Every structure is written in C-alpha cells, then in structure tokens.
Structure 1
Amino acid sequence: MKISNVEAYWLRCPIPKEKQHTSDYGLLTNFDMTLVVVTLENGLQGFGEAKAAVGSSGSCASIVSCIENEIKPALIGQDAREITKIWEIIYNGTRDHYALNRGRKFPILGHRGLTISAMSGVDTALWDLKGKMLGVPVVELFGGACRDKMPAYASGGWASADKIGEQLLSYTAKGFKGVKMRVGVMDGTVKESIKRVKAAREALGDDILLMADAHGTFSVPEAKKFARGVEDCDLYWFEEPISPDNKQGTAELRATTSIPIAAGESEYTAFDVRDMIELRALDVVQPDSAIIGGMTEAMRVSALAHAYQLELAPHCWGSAFSFMAGVNVAFASPAACVIEFSLGGNPMMYDLVNENIGAVDGDILAPTAPGLGLSPNWDFVNEFKQKIN
C-alpha cells in the first residue's frame, strides 16, 4: 500500500455562454480546478480536488507546483493507509517528527493558504484510496451515514430583482426545497440587495428555504443594514456577510441580528474555525474539503460543530470530487442538515467524471460506491489540462 506517485493537473474548461453568470467575481467564462491523483505501487489510484479560489475561476499553477515539488517528495514510499500521519507530515514539514513525538503541531510557515489547499487534494485522494481498498464509501470510514438521504439546496441566484423570482422558481421546479442567492457588492447598493431578497421571498412563498450569500463583500455597517432590511424574509442563513479577514466584524453582526450567520468556506484548518466559534461569530459552519485541509480536517470541523451545537453545511461548490467529499462529510456528521448543489455552469461537476451526479426529488442519497465513487474522464482531463512553465 505504498505511494508510488502524486500528480496534480490544473484543469480549465470554458463555460458555455448560455450558462455563464456575473457575480462579484465578474463574468465567469471558465471553470478551474486542480485534480490530484495519488497512485499506489499496485496501480490503484485515488482522486481529490485542491482549490486556488473559493469561486470557480482562478489560476491553479501554484497549487500544482506545491504538490509536485514539495508534497510529492515527502510522500513517495509512505503507507497510504496512514492518512492522519501523512496529514501531520505535510502540515509540519521537516519538524513532523517533533509533532508526532510531542503530540502537538510544529507547522511550516505556509500553514495557511495554498499549502493547505494543496494538501487538501492529497488528503481527499487518500480517503478515496482507502475506501476503494476496503470496498466501502468514505462515509463508512467516518462511522457510517447518519441518515439515508439529505435535502439539497440549489445554489445560484444572480438575477436582477425583476428576474430573481423566475430564476429561483426554475430551481424549485427541479424538486429543490431550498435555494441560495447571491447578494453584496455585485448589487451596487445594500438597498438593491434587500430589494432582490424581498422579490425572491415573494416569489418563493413561505415554504422554501432561502439563503443569501454575500461572498464576504459587505462592510460591517452594510451587513447590519442588509440584515435589518431582510429581517422579515425568514432567511435560513446569511452567508459570509463580511470578509473572512474580519472575524470580529462577523461576530459583531451576529450579535445584532436574529438571522443565522454562516461562514467557513474561506478558512484554513479547524484552528481558524475554532477562532470564529470562540468569537461567537457563527451559527452554521461551512468547511470546504478542497480548502480546509481535506476530508480529515473537515471531519475535525464537524466535531467542533457538533460540540458547540452549530449546524454543519459543507461548502460543495466545485468539481464532482470536492462535491462528493462534502457529501460524505455531511452524511457522516449528525450536525449536518442540508447539502449545497451547484446550479451554475459547472462542467467539472458533470463532464469531468464518468458517473452521473444528481439530486432525486431535491434530495441527495447516502453514498454507497467505494471511496468517493468517482472516476475521471481522462479524455476531458487531457483536453483541458493546462501547461505550466
């Protein structure tokens, strides 16, 4: 079960024009991701995703370089079954022996940022491998599924006030009982964001869950104004209202509103999430397995959510690999209630893998296939992998 190779591919695929959308990230014309492949000496392969950006577009060259030049040399010859040990080796670098001997971290300087994103893809690939070795889905390795199915919410909602109702109703027509829309700086003014949310609630009625995601673009005063303006819209949560750099500001907002506050997709490691919890900044925790430190760290965040009576809602906006990583974490966690399902233009969700991913009457079924249950479409990979000088 020794690791013989670790590879990373930056994939960039054009989004069909009819499926493109404009947000605070601008007009998204391409979808990027880093596909991580861990190969054993017997030829068995595991797959994961590492992210250079929370959104769907961004250069992955640095992540590929980190995996190929820094992480790979440390992992060749390691036993792929020792996932926790490997996590410590990558996180602590040359001081990993101290960390393993003393039982506490001695992290390298890059213990936040792209190094953690890079190791996230490797970690997820190792869990995929272990599930395949044992013939079980990863959720079984985490203690089994807490439920047979979970409701999914449709994630999208970029339309203007006069079109947002129509856009969100097109999601519920597919069976989704919850929807998420984007707000924030993309609207120009707080007043316009409020107007769009009110229009959305009016169109949806009272029985559909409605979330609003500001992508961290409001200032603290703007977020307070928005929250006051939509107080009667029964938002299920208000996501990333303020920059993740301003955790105190997020806590300040939470203290002034009854709307649950969600965040965590931009955080690295459970230590960042712990800091937000200690500041009383969160009601809903949203780790992204392709950013937080892999499925290993996402499960540590899940334990924090459970201990502090918070809801866990993994960030599942990405390729099929990070989506299924989030799904397995969500099903293993008693703190999870809903799963994000991207309705933006996302070729990495469907064309990248050979399997079909979908919701059944708005629900996601518990995973049953070994590992993550996915295999890459190598024709797609070879067509869209980027050359890195």
Structure 2
Amino acid sequence: MPQEALGLLSPARHDLRPGDEGNVIVSVETYALAVPLAQPLADSTAALTSWTVPVVEIRTADGRVGTGISGVHTGSEMLCHVVDRYYAPALVGASSEDILGTWKRLYWLPTHWIGRAGVVHMALSMVDIALWDLAAQRAGVPLWRLLGGSADPIETYNTDGGWLNLSVAEVVRDLGSLIDRGWRRVKIKVGTPDWREDASRVRAVRKAVGSDITVMADANQRWDLATAQRMLPVLAEAGMDWIEEPVHADDLGAHRRLQAVGTVDVAAGESLYSYHAFTGLIEADAVRVVQPDVTRLAGVTEWLQVAQHAGARGLRLVPHAGDMMQVHQHLAGVVLSESPPLLEFIPWTQDVFESRSVVNDGFAERPQTPGASTAVRKEAREKWQLRGVGGRTSDD
C-alpha cells in the first residue's frame, strides 16, 4: 500500500521560516537497552531481572540530536516499530520546533484507531520527549528552566527497598539502608494473594521504621474492591501516606468508593495513558494523589496538560517514574500546585545516561546540562543494546 494511503506523507518544508533550515529533521533512529538489575525484583504483577529503555534519536540538519525514551519490562520492539513504521516517515523533513503541531499530526494518523492508549501512545511519548529535548538544547538551558520551573531541589521518595519478593526482614533491612542514606519517604509493595499477609507486612514495616518516616503502599491493581475495603483500616492504622493502584486502573467506580470512605489517600496514574482518562478520575473525586507518567502519556506535551488540571483541583501531583526520574526531574514543580513537588526515585538506569540524576539526602538537584537529560552514553548502548530491535529512517 502506498504511504499516501496510510497518511504517512512527509510534510513539505514550505512551512519553515527563513533561516530555520537547520531545525529540519533529517533522520530518526530507534533502539532499546536492556539494563540488568542488581538483584531479581517483583511486585504483585511482574518479576524483573532487567529494565528496558526504548530510545528514539531525532537528528536535525544542524547536527543536533534529540533523545526520547520510555521504560518497559516487555514489548520494547513494539514501541520502536510504531516509531519506525508509522511516525518516522511523517517526521523526516518536518520542523523539529513544531512540537504541538507534530503531536497532533502523529496522534491523528490512522494508528489513532488502534492506539489511543498503550503502545502507540507510548511511542508518541518517545518522539515528543525528543522534540522537547531539542528545544531545550537550542535554548541552551535544561528543560525545567525552559518550562519555567524553579531551581530548588525536589524531595524524592524511594521505591527500591520494598519489593514483594523480599521477606519482611529483607524489606526492613533495605528500607533501613535507604533511611540511613537520607530518604524520609519510602514505598512498599503489597498485593499478595492473602490480604492478611499484606496487613502483616504493612504493620511490620511501620513498627520497624518508626512514626517519623513517611511510608506509601502500592498494590499494583491486584486487590478487588472487597479486599481493598478490608485493607483500608489497616493502612490507616499504620499511617500509610497513600495506597497506590489498589484496584484495576480502569475501575473508576471502585476508586471513587474507596476514596470516599477512606482516610488514606488513593493514588493512581501509572496505568493511565491519556489526559481524558485522568480527567475522568479527577472529576469523579476518585483520587487525591495524581501520578502522571511522561512515558505512558504522550510525552511532555500531554503530561503538562494533566499536571495543570490536577494542580488546579488542589490535588497532590506525584509523577510515576517509568523513566526512572530522568525526565521527571525536569517536570516536577513546573506547574502551579498547592502541594510541594515530590518525585519517585528508582536507580536502575542511572548508568544509561550521560547526565546522571543527583540526589542528596533524599532531594534531587535540578540538572544543569541543556536538554532533557536523555542523551544515552555510547558505552551503555554498546553494552546493553538489544539485537534486532529498532531501525533508522532518513532523508538520504
């Protein structure tokens, strides 16, 4: 089938202003890196030995490279294929400065009919992040400064000590290590087949860390409504700051009922892929903690829309870090909000990037290098690139 029939024609260059020729996209390349974990980890839905970082690099005529990323534990080849097959032909020859126009144009390709969420939407995120990375590079500033954020450090909470495959004793040991290193906020996983085991885990952790440490719990959607209702008093008794994804992400009614009766905040967003999905959750008063993820939404462009909506409703805005905080360290604190910014920190992919995240005593320092902190180290690509995943499209 000809590309014209698929709606994939590359845009004409007549929309460029004189002198903007250097901003023209000349090539799009994708690949993926499988980064091994220090030890096997599991939550209630998945067991992991590595974390995969799909990457798109968008090169412009002036030699700049914008890098977009995602974060998955399966399916990286599908994200790269969407970019290679459907998005790249529509990008090459276009202006990289037309971020919103490009977002709309890619969103409304025929792939819209099969991908307003999930793989297609996540692939659009990779492209959008790369274009914002280019914009910040051209401005000569880190992305957070381009977006108007303050230079103040941002508090983080650490997720890397409370995994479900670890015994309670191991969780207590690992959380203690994080606390000794300066974190005052930590998260543990729940969602075992027996809610009583979850209750025991929550109580044991609270007893071990004391009352001065903020603890969150994450069920990764594994409870049904009845189980979640049983657990709410336990969570309240243990002083949990929030319960994350207590039930299926698409069950709006269950979220609303839990938030209406519980004193523990309900958090959600990791498994929501669009502004419209977040709007439904927010308008139903179904959550108090909104967790947009720039790699699940369609990039920085849509993330900002969700963040502004949540902030305007007085809700807590705490990004889910599928990117391991690499992009979110730029996004947190760039919209008006009554609550202070907070970031999720997981250290798995620090060695992938040229600009590592810097966290001291639980607070993330704002990056200073121009761009979105997404550029990949050459050594990381050589070490961890997956064979047979990705491709390259150019105007050659």
TM-score, normalised relative to structure 1: 0.88
Distance 1:166 1:15 in 2: 19
1:286 aligns with 2:302: no
Q: CA deviation at 1:212?
A: 0.4
Change (3 A) 1:274 1:26: closer
Residue correspondence of structure 1 range 335-354 to structure 2 within 5 A? 335=337, 336-342=340-346, 346=348, 349-354=349-354
Larger Rg: 2
The structure 2 residue matched to 1:41, chosen from 58, 61, 69, is: 61
Instruction: Give per-residue Cα distances to partners, 1:12-36, cap 9 Å, x unaligned.
Output: 23324xx222322443112212011
The structure 1 residue matched to 2:153, chosen from 146, 149, 156, is: 149
Most deviating of 218-227 and 245-254: 245-254
Contact 2:44 2:189 in 1 (8 A): no
Residue correspondence of structure 1 range 188-203 to structure 2 within 5 A? 188-203=193-208
Contact 2:27 2:92 in 1 (8 A): yes
Distance 2:148 2:68 in 1: 21
Contact 1:120 1:289 in 2 (8 A): yes
Contact 2:139 2:146 in 1 (8 A): no
Partner SS for 1:176 = coil
Q: CA deviation at 1:331?
A: 2.5
Partner SS for 1:303 = helix
Distance 1:253 1:231 in 2: 13
Q: CA deviation at 1:193?
A: 0.8
For structure 2, list consecutive stretches of 5 or more residues without a partner in the other structure: 1-22, 390-396
Change (3 A) 1:299 1:202: same
Distance 2:312 2:246 in 1: 24
Q: CA deviation at 1:365?
A: 1.7
Residue correspondence of structure 1 range 7-18 to structure 2 within 5 A? 7-16=29-38
Q: How many residues align?
A: 362
Distance 1:387 1:375 in 2: 20
Contact 2:70 2:322 in 1 (8 A): no
Residue correspondence of structure 1 range 183-332 to structure 2 within 5 A? 183-184=190-191, 187-319=192-324, 323-332=325-334
Distance 1:334 1:311 in 2: 11
Contact 1:238 1:259 in 2 (8 A): yes
Distance 2:130 2:336 in 1: 24
Q: CA deviation at 1:304?
A: 0.6
Give 1:102's aligned residue. Answer: none
Distance 1:161 1:50 in 2: 31
1:161 aligns with 2:168: yes
Q: Which amino acid in structure 1 is aligned with residue 350 of structure 2?
A: Y
Q: CA deviation at 1:165?
A: 2.1
Contact 1:34 1:63 in 2 (8 A): yes
Q: CA deviation at 1:372?
A: 1.5
Distance 1:27 1:241 in 2: 19
Give 2:373's aligned residue. Answer: 373
For structure 1, list consecutive stretches of 5 or more residues without a partner in the other structure: 96-106
Structure 1 runs (4+) greater than 4 angstroms displaced: none
Give 2:3's aligned residue. Answer: none
Distance 2:355 2:145 in 1: 20
Give 2:178's aligned residue. Answer: 171
Q: Which amino acid in structure 1 is aligned with residue 311 of structure 2?
A: H
Distance 1:377 1:109 in 2: 34
The structure 1 residue matched to 2:49, chosen from 29, 54, 61, is: 29
Distance 2:217 2:302 in 1: 26
Residue correspondence of structure 1 range 73-112 to structure 2 within 5 A? 73-93=89-109, 107-112=112-117
Instruction: Give per-residue Cα distances to partners, 1:355-379, cap 9 Å, x unaligned.
Output: 3323111111223321123431122
Q: Which amino acid in structure 2 is aligned with residue 264 of structure 1?
A: G
Contact 1:67 1:118 in 2 (8 A): yes
Q: What's the C-alpha RMSD, in Å, of the aligned pairs?
A: 1.8
Distance 1:368 1:10 in 2: 26
Give 1:60's aligned residue. Answer: 76
Instruction: Give per-residue Cα distances to partners, 1:189-213, cap 9 Å, x unaligned.
Output: 1111111111111111111111001
Most deviating of 107-116 and 32-41: 107-116
Give 1:129's aligned residue. Answer: 134
TM-score, normalised relative to structure 2: 0.87
Q: Which amino acid in structure 2 is aligned with residue 32 of structure 1?
A: T
Partner SS for 1:29 = strand
Distance 1:26 1:78 in 2: 39
